[in-house]
Amino acid sequence: MRLPEAGAVTGWASLRWRGAAYFDGLDQRSGDELPVPLIVGAAGANLRPAAGSTVTKEQFPPGELDEVAGLRCSSVARATFDEVRRVHSEREGVVVVDMAVAAGLLTVAEMAAYVETRYAWEGVPRVRKSLAHAIDDSRSPQESRMRLVWVLDAGLPPPVCNQPLFNRRGQLLGYPDLFDSVAGVVGEYDGADHLRRDRRRGDIQREQLFRDHGLEYFTVVRGDLSDRDLVVRRMLRARARAKFLSAEECAWTLEPPAWWGDRAS
């Protein structure tokens, strides 16, 4: 109701309104409720801040304004751009992009193309740094954070994430959260939902299946990511134990069987 005709909801609120569940309106550090970010451009010069919202008067081209279920929202790319600039670190910026992609709202390539049109804007260098580590295949914020520890803190090669892994007979072994195809290492993030008895039993069976096919395995659980050194040690020890088999020696493959394409379609 406070928005001028050319204004919109942006940032996390625009993404949430479009169905991106990760953007819950809570500060990731404190748990406090975030104000709803409004973007008004020059048309909102007289709009004053009010409790529960923030107001930015940055440029807001008409092409970045959408109406979604009766609410004026900034475009997906603009909302993601604004949210990456808002969060407190480059790593959390990666999580923002990953989760907008996971919600099916855009791709990393589409976001990168948008950022190239905003080269002189405040915060763009940080957005670019976040984009350099964003991927199209993350499925949860904690998976993204675990992957960043693997790459940035452990200094290991970028892994494959959430891709189907098969044995040589074409049997699906699973979709590892993180997979090092050079060493043969599977990394999994187990959140609170993995504590259920039925889920935990399945996790153990899954780990055994991976190990039976010559893969090393490590798990990161809730709370571990607050101690990056601990997680780095776990990752490096798992990779040190790995077999580093040649393609001919491996009992697993990322190459899907012929029938997999029919199933995927």
CA atoms of 209 and 197, how far apart (whole Å): 19
Output the pLDDT for position 41.
83
From the centroid of its chain, how far is CA 48?
Answer: 34
Buried b (16+ CB within 10 A) or exposed e, 163-199: ebbbbeeeeebbebbbbbbebbbbbbbbeeeeeeeee
In 103-249, which residue ranges form alpha helices assigned H by DSSP?
108-115, 124-131, 141-148, 197-212, 228-241
Mean pLDDT by 10 residues, the chain (265 residues): 85 98 93 94 73 90 95 97 96 98 98 94 96 98 98 98 96 96 97 63 90 97 95 98 96 93 62
Residue 232 corresponds to which amino acid?
Answer: V
CA atoms of 160 and 153, how far apart (whole Å): 17
